[in-house]
Structures are given as structure tokens and as C-alpha cells.
Amino acid sequence: MSSIVTHEILYEILSKEKLRTEIQKIEESLFLQLQSYLKEKELILSSQKEKDSFPEEIKRTEKQLQSIKRISNEIIETRKRKIVNLALLNSRTTNEITVKNLLSEETILYNSILASLKQYTTPVKEEAKTLKEENSEFTKVKFLESVPKFMGTDNKIYGPFSKEDASNLPNKVAYIFINRGKAIKVE
């Protein structure tokens, strides 16, 4: 039983996946073919061991098998990393980047990650919108960590601030510290 997948083809897929930023198009059946290819190599290896083939032949087949598994895992991990990064990027923007070349399982993974990321970022965005709706030019914040001195949007120097210090800051500056988790709003 011969499959279309070979060590060279897998290596070519991995190279393209690593060299290019976008997810590369691969056949939907690639991983089924890969399973078949791995079974063939494992059968060859067991046959070599049963026939007491030359130790060099057995070692070469074992190395090929390990290499195939390593390359296929790298392909999967590289694609997963790209999927996570794409979902993260699309969770931050209103104009989503078109997602192409995903396998059906990868599409499910992408949609799940994107939904989770959008759900996770919603409370922060909601809080930021609430803060922006207030009319005051300044917002009182309490710092959750030390902050060195900085220039505010009004060109005045603020700080340095220690953890637990409170200060009235221009709204834009206050929102930045609040959204980054470095301060909280004080009523």
C-alpha cells in the first residue's frame, strides 16, 4: 500500500510553512496519508527486525521514522502557532483578516480560539468605553505597581508613583494605565 506522502514532500511542506507568514495550502487528506505512510515505515522496520537485517538498515529506517514524526509535528505546531496569532490579531480589530488555507479541524480550532479571545477582551473594552464616556478631563487612579515619571497628554510631568499611590491624571493617560492593568479607577 503506497501513499503520496514522502519524507521529501513533508520537508517541503515544513519549509514553506516556516518561510512564509501565511498559512500554506495543504491537502485535506494529508494527515490521513501521513498516517498511512507512518504505518508503512513501521511495517518495514518491524520486517527488518524480524529478518535480522543489517543493523545499519534498521538504524536508517528508525532515523527516517523519527524524522518523519518530528517534521510532521513541526508542521502541526507551526500551523497552530499561525492560527493562534491570526485569531489574536483578528480579536483585536474590527476589520478581520480573511483566513485562508485552513483544514476543517483547523477552522474549528481557529473559531474556538477567536471566540474565546473576543470574549476575554470584552470586559476590558467595556470598562474602557465606560471610562471614556465620563465628561471629566481627569480621572483619579490608584497604581497597582510602581511607575516612573512621565509626560502626560497635557505636557505636564507626572510621577514617579509607587504601588498604592493615587493621583488625578488626564483621562487618556489614566485609561492607558487602567487598560494595561497598572492602575485602577478610584471613585
Q: Mean pLDDT per segment of 10 residues, for the chain of length 187 residues? A: 76 95 93 92 90 88 94 96 92 83 93 86 54 68 91 84 92 89 89
Among 50, 53, 116, 113, CA closest to 83: 113
What's residue 150's pLDDT?
85
What is the reported pLDDT for 187? 80
Question: How many Å apart are CA 172 and CA 155, to the nearest integer?
Answer: 13
pLDDT computed for residue 91 by the predictor = 85
What's the Cα-to-Cα distance from 182 to each of 6, 88, 126, rounded to whole Å? 52, 22, 17
Under 8 Å between Cβ of 142 and 183:
yes
Q: Coil, helix or strand for 92? A: helix
Closest by Cα among 61, 102, 62 to 84: 102
Give, as one character, the DSSP assignment of residue 147.
Answer: B
Tell me the CATH number of domain 7-121, given options 3.10.20.30, 3.40.718.10, 1.20.58.1030, 1.10.357.10.
1.20.58.1030
**CATH topology match: 7-121 vs 134-185:** no
Domain ranges of the chain: 7-121, 134-185
Sign of CA dihedral 136, 143, 177, 161: positive
CATH class of this structure's domain 134-185? alpha beta
142, amino acid identity: K
Where b means 16+ CB within 10 Å and e means fewer, 27-53 reads: eeebbeebebbbeebeebbeebeeeee
